[in-house]
Amino acid sequence: MPTVYLNGTYLPAEEACVSVMDRGFLFGDGVYEVIPAYGGRLFRLDHHLQRLQDSLDGIRLDNPLSDDAWRGILDEVLERNRDRAGADNDQSVYLQVTRGSAARRDHAFPEQTTPTVFVFSNPITAPDPLIATRGISAITLDDIRWQYCNIKAITLLPNVLLRQQAADHNAAEALLVRHGRVIEGSASNVFVVREGVILTPPRSEQMLPGITRDLVLELAEQHALPYGETDIQADSLRQADEIWVTSSTREIVPVTRLDGAEVGDGRPGPAWKTVIGLYRDYKEAVRNGTQDQGL
């Protein structure tokens, strides 16, 4: 039975309840983060907490907790669910903050509400080993989401519909296109490799600033791998040598088929093999407590 945190209390998940008047339930008025933890050590927590703060600022909601308080709650949830995580104690932590409950339903911000804070964790499923040899399939779709995708909001219905459309085509991800440019995936950031150069779209309000995305760029710089941030035209995807998608829970995944056609030679490419190796080394250093994450 997993333990969750809800508004100051640790309790079994099935006993956790929120008001039907909570604005997260009625309006999707809230934000969230998903943070992996390896060996019980939270992965790049300071980056996730900064993104949480940016999202809260974006919806004009005060952060209900200090960074130290967040760390304490997240560590406690990880510890209480340690027995469910296996010997490696690898878990992903989900945290959500909504604007709280009000006496009546009204689109305008209510006065003097208390934010609802919810945290739970799940064991991390090991990556499918076939991905390293086969990669995944993806399709391109028009980006139907709102304009402030840099806010990690809980209003994810467009992403759900896009991801399901990919699943309907036996694809693992949808790459989203707006005004002819690739923005990101339905639940990931996007990279392409052209002539050995690793490229990803630049930050903007139209995309979520991914923690794994930023780490890939850091690793490329540290290891003198050619990289850049630039607009990626959807038409140019067909000429890419490699395509990857990245996220905190899926890490770095090679896309080997796009819209039914092979990407490159149809196998995970050499640049991906190099970068996933660097990423896994970094992750193991975090697990072993030898990687300084700036906390």
Long-range contacts of 50-58 (CB under 8 A, 24+ apart): 51/152, 51/209, 51/211, 52/95, 52/97, 52/152, 54/150, 54/151, 54/209, 55/31, 55/151, 55/152, 55/153, 56/31, 56/97, 58/31, 58/148, 58/150, 58/151
For residues 83-105, one letter each, b for 16 or more C-beta atoms within 10 angstroms of the residue's C-beta and e for the rest, the string is eebeeebbbbbebbbbbbbbeee
* Nearest one of 97, 113, 107, 109 to 33, comparing CA atoms: 97
Q: What is the pLDDT of residues 149-169, one digit of tens each?
A: 999 999 999 999 999 999 999
Domain boundary among the residues 123, 154, 170 is at: 123
Same domain, 115 and 140: no
pLDDT in tens, 52-68: 999 999 999 999 999 99
Residues with catalytic annotation? Answer: 152
d(CA 282, CA 69): 26
Residue 106 lies in a domain: yes
Specify if 292 maps to a domain.
Answer: no
Total-model pTM: 0.95
Q: What is the mean pLDDT of residues 25-31?
A: 97
Whether 183 and 245 have beta carbons less than 8 Å apart is answered as: no
pLDDT of residue 295: 41
Mean per-residue pLDDT, 238-257? 96
Q: Do residues 70 and 151 share a domain? A: no
Please tell me whether residues 68 and 158 are part of one structural domain. Answer: no
> Do 79 and 144 reside in the same domain of the chain?
no
